[in-house]
Amino acid sequence: MKNKILLIFILLSFGLYESQVKKSPVAQKPPKIGLALSGGGAKGFAHIGVLKVIDSLGIKIDYISGTSMGAIVGGLYAAGYEAKDIEKIMKETDFYTLLANEKPRQETPFFSKTNDKYLITVPIHKGKINVLPKAISTGQKNLYLLKELLSNVSNINNFSELQIPFLCVATNLESGKMEIFEKGDIVSSIMASSAYPSLMDPVKVGDSLYVDGAMTVNFPAKPLKDKGMDIIIGVNLSQPLADREELNSAVKILNQVIDFNTKRENITQEKYADILINPNLSGYSTTSFDEKEKILNIGYKTAKQFTEVLNQLPKREHRISRAPINPIYSNIYKVDSLAVENNRIFNRDYIQGKMALKTPSLQTYEGINKMIDKLYATNNYNLINYELLLLGNKNVLKLEVDEIESRYFLKFGLHYDEVFKTGLLMNLTIKRLLLRNSVLSADVIVGGTHPRYYFNYFVDNGYIPGLGIYASGMSLELRDSHRNLIGKWKWFRNEAYIQSIWRDKYAIGGGISHDYFESKSGVARYDNERNFINPYVFIKTDTRDDKDFPTKGFSLDARGKLLDLFDKKIENQIFQIKGDLETNFAFSNRFTYRLHLFAGFSFGEPLTPYYQFYPGGIFEQNLANFVSFPGYQFGSFSANNLVIARNDFQFKIKKNYFITGHFNILNTFNEHNAKSVFKFGDVSGGITLGYKSPFGQVKLNFSKAADRSKGVFSVILGHWF
């Protein structure tokens, strides 16, 4: 009935307009149409369905208001995107990845890649332990996406100058009051409007912090009336309060309490909506991102029911698919200089070096995002905002950084494997100790029968060589194929090294190490004690997207060393080289082929058992010369020279669930010639069931070597350390 009355009102309005045209030389303007889009998280996909109907009818929208997801969708529409464009963007965007806001492993500094093993990180700031973070995400990934999507209107500071005038609503975190954004940086404004507490950090705009506008006004219809809109189309995604039976958890009860104020304010705002579209989204939540197409279709079908009314509204004379172009925006453009704001700890040169930004240079928005990713991956920043400015005849890339002020961190991890058994990892990390670019990391692993420690202090100077100091200590057991104990080792290593970056991907360097070994067989006391001084060089890289279940990228760790440099008894100096290469080929989004090659060569005097190569197990730690080879027990035999080719066929069953088939070849030899090196040796095969959990990998492996009567079953839990 309400819609019919409204229809009559619209028709009468147009009739009155026509009659007035005949009587007066001054033509009355058609009614101005406003579009109000509410918040709702994933339920906001319904807005796109409504916009598809609006576009199909050619309705002219004169002003858009939005809150949270409504601000995101409304902002894109106001900037010139049509509904079909926004639909494509939403379908191609992985919102769970955005929410997780994980730092890109490919861009992480080499030192940090060796430390992706912690489950919990607790910062210590000003003597206080901050156990709980502000939110799940800082919003860095969201910023990248919005910057790229809205790059063509980045020069517009007054949102009334967009193709369709626009405003969005946020909540001032300190005052608790609603604030309307209609000027400034559109990306920051939209992020402030959609910063839902606990999911995303508060957003700083000017001198104030803001959170999701839904905390005050989730359905911003009145602001459009205040802008002089005659008719308001309102899309309110609010659903009825949950009943008693549904309130069966603390989270649901908390959401119900939050909804109390939202419902009261919605009643007030709905009075200003002339056409109210309220899709039935019961059964969907703010995080139902995997149901985006279903939600979009519900919005479309609901809006179609209003076709008769909507079709009476004024029409667009023509369509513009994009907003006016930013004068400095193009697919490729020149960046003349870098400017940085709010940096107190790290200077401009450090920032530009970590970004690998050369000025002047030609860049794209995608390229800038990748460079900022490198800076963000240093773990020195909460958020890095940026904009491109045209100053005079120069294009300036301006960064606004939010630095992590904490220098001290406690980190924890948990792991189980076939060698060290259960281990609890406790870590102390100190940044900027003595030198600004330095990181100190000290690990202690307790549990089981094999306590360990690792110490690393490194000064990261990027392309300029940096100094590192490393120390470790551990004990381990060696067993034969029947699981009988054949020996025990104690191993302590101390080393100093230098490291630099080459071609933006490779770490190169060298150093000198001191190894101290004790060994025994059976129950005898440790009687075979040896010290070794070994100079070495290395080159390494790691561009894999994931350490446990990689789908793309490669890794390389190649080393060469002189053994026992100062042993005067050696007539022919022992020289050893080894290379460990892994490369991944993604044939689809589910299937990955992984080739893993290892080669180790020893030259000179007879090799001590401590530096022989030990294949076996699925152990994937960088542990002396122990090399993974499924089908054999860890450390069950050794060789002076060997070559291993492992072939993994990884299939993603569904998100985070994997099954991997293995086919492996092992060749040991004594003579260094092509015939010996490339002969077909021992083979093994197996299968691994894997799960990528929030707490690290879970792997169940069964493998069998062709020359062994029994297979080997292994269990791996948690990140390697």
The yes-or-no verdict on residue 661 having pLDDT over 50 is yes
Which residue is listed with tokens 């309705």? 59
Confidence of residue 596 (pLDDT cuts 50, 70, 90): very high
The yes-or-no verdict on residue 647 having pLDDT over 50 is yes
Q: Would you give the DSSP letter of residue 625?
A: T
* Tokens encoding 524: 């005898």
pLDDT of residue 322: 42
**Alpha-carbon separation of residue 578 from 114, 598, 600 (angstroms):** 19, 7, 4
Highest mean pLDDT: which of 123-137, 403-417, 670-684?
403-417
The torsion angles phi and psi of 514, rounded to 5 degrees, stand at: -115, 120
**Alpha-carbon separation of residue 645 from 37, 456, 680, 720 (angstroms):** 57, 31, 10, 22
Distance CA 382, CA 126 (A): 17
**Exposure of 490 by Cβ count < 10 A (0-12 exposed, 13-18 middle, 19+ buried)?**
middle
CA atoms within 13 A on the CB side of 673: 3
pLDDT tens-digit series, residues 309-344: 999 999 887 654 444 444 444 467 789 999 999 999
The torsion angles phi and psi of 113, rounded to 5 degrees, stand at: -65, -25
Which residue is listed with tokens 């561009």? 543
> In this structure, are residues 413 and 437 in contact, taking their beta carbons and an 8 Å threshold?
no
Please compute the mean of the pLDDT values over residues 106-134 and round it to a whole number: 75
CA atoms within 13 A on the CB side of 709: 2
The yes-or-no verdict on residue 641 having pLDDT over 90 is yes
Highest mean pLDDT: which of 110-114, 244-248, 490-494?
490-494
Q: How big is the chain by its Cα radius of gyration, in Å? A: 31
| Diameter over CA atoms, the chain | 117
The yes-or-no verdict on residue 652 having pLDDT over 50 is yes
pLDDT of residue 28: 65
Distance CA 689, CA 417 (A): 15
Q: Would you give the DSSP letter of residue 331?
A: S
pLDDT of residue 43: 92
Distance CA 13, CA 17 (A): 6
The yes-or-no verdict on residue 575 having pLDDT over 90 is yes
The yes-or-no verdict on residue 97 having pLDDT over 70 is yes
- More confident site: 536 or 118: 536
Distance CA 619, CA 699 (A): 12
The yes-or-no verdict on residue 370 having pLDDT over 90 is no
> In this structure, are residues 279 and 239 in contact, taking their beta carbons and an 8 Å threshold?
no
- The torsion region of residue 9 among left (phi > 0), alpha (psi -120 to 50) and beta comes to alpha
pLDDT of residue 329: 43
Percent of the chain past pLDDT 70, that is, above it, reads 88
pLDDT of residue 325: 41
pLDDT of residue 17: 34
Please compute the mean of the pLDDT values over residues 420-427 and round it to a whole number: 91
Residue 453, classed as helix, strand or coil, is strand
The yes-or-no verdict on residue 441 having pLDDT over 90 is yes
Those residues whose C-beta lies under 8 Å from the C-beta of residue 377, and which sit 6 or more positions away, are: 103, 104, 107, 108, 109, 112
pLDDT of residue 24: 37
pLDDT of residue 270: 87
pLDDT of residue 14: 44
What's the pTM? 0.78
pLDDT of residue 27: 47
Q: Residue ranges of the alpha helices (H) in 114-249? A: 140-149, 186-193, 222-226
pLDDT of residue 200: 87
pLDDT tens-digit series, residues 6-29: 543 554 444 333 322 333 344 467
In this structure, the number of other CB atoms found within 10 A of the CB of residue 377 comes to 20
pLDDT tens-digit series, residues 510-537: 999 999 998 887 544 445 778 999 999 9
